[in-house]
Chain A
Amino acid sequence: MYFDLHCHSVSSDDSRATVEQYLKWIQVLRKRGYTVDGIVLTEHRKFDFDKDYSQLADDYGVIVLKGSELDTRFGHFLVYNVTQSLASDIDFGDVRMDARELMQASQHHGALAIPAHPGRFGIGLVDFMDAGETFTDVKIVEQLNGGGRPGENERADELCEAYGYLGTGASDAHLASHVCTCMTKFGMDISNEGELVLALLSGDFSPVKLEETSTA
């Protein structure tokens, strides 16, 4: 299965794409011969407990999951399988939180937090590790990010190589036509956020560019 693990709807202040526009665009991609099974909406500094996209997902035949992208003092982290109990323990709006505490709290509550765009200049995990910070709980990072500037994904590649991290892929889309430019290929079926975490913990996944999903 192919999932875009990182995209933002208009629920994030810097996105201009509605969820339906993403799903319409995925129909365009499918017409062009690409394979897309699902997306994960990772809104900035929040989790939309009140939003239900199941009808839209059915209408367009796309699995729509929800997650978060949280700011920490060690860069941005994607959180999958967010629960009410995690949201009670962690202040999602605290941009100075310690990413290590976030990762541990996520694990405690059945969620998973991984560094987003670790190669991003200035705010990526690579810079913090180069400055001497250590992150023993990191096992997976977002290796392929569709919003990266030249050189940033290469820095993430080097990080994975140096530390043996597993890598995901995602578009980091803020516009409809950018969704699914990069994705993660999974070897197992995923239909909800809990299964997504299990699939990530299984290690049976790899980052892919959209072009690699072509059936044409």
Chain B
Amino acid sequence: MINDGQIYFEDVELGDEIGPLEKVASDEGVIDFCTLWGNPVPNRFTSEEEAAKANLPGPIVPGVMSMSLMAQLITDWAGPDGLKDLDVVFRQPVPHNKPLIITGTINDTRQEDGENIVQCDVLMTGTAGERYIIGTAVVSLPSRS
């Protein structure tokens, strides 16, 4: 299928699965992310008290951080330039310090404006089946020809 580490459009079939990628967003990782992001701490992402003020069960993982974890599933698979769009729906708060299982399923392939487009469902779940985030990714892959 691959001889140079690159996946090609011709290698892909509907129903193919991507991942799983398992990640944990630790307390320290979220603080580091907020600091880099320019979101002053403490905030609802890092502090029990601030989270309670926002009626959250505890500090949650920032949405953009969760999206970056989901994007990694795709860029690890397709390469750094392949991801064209990631559109997600946040269904439950994403907790700190718990395994986050990220998976993808290819549900469409097409050629569009000269590009080889692959569309994937992407999902972030917990180990007990909690669906934290659902969405779709649009990926452009090179052709063998």
Contact = CB atoms under 8 A, between A and B. Distances in A.
Interface stretch (B44-52, B54-62, B124-132): B124-132
B14 A24 contact: yes
Interface in B71-111: 87, 89, 91, 105, 107-108
A92 B77 CA distance: 43
A21 interface: yes
Nearest to A20: B108
Max chain B CB contacts within 10 Å: which of A28, A175, A178?
Answer: A175
A176 interface: yes
A147 interface: yes
A175 B123 contact: yes
B31 interface: no
Contacts, number: 48
Contact of B14 (A14, A16, A28, A147): A28
Interface of B: 14-15, 87, 89, 91, 105, 107-108, 119, 121, 123, 128-131, 134-136
Given A16-B87, A175-B107, 16 more contacts: A15-B89, A16-B135, A16-B136, A17-B121, A21-B107, A21-B108, A24-B14, A24-B108, A25-B14, A31-B15, A149-B129, A149-B130, A174-B134, A175-B121, A175-B135, A177-B107
30 contacts: A14-B89, A14-B91, A15-B89, A16-B89, A16-B121, A16-B135, A16-B136, A17-B107, A17-B121, A17-B136, A21-B108, A21-B119, A24-B108, A25-B107, A27-B14, A28-B14, A28-B15, A31-B15, A147-B131, A149-B131, A150-B128, A174-B89, A174-B134, A175-B107, A175-B121, A176-B107, A176-B121, A177-B15, A177-B105, A177-B107
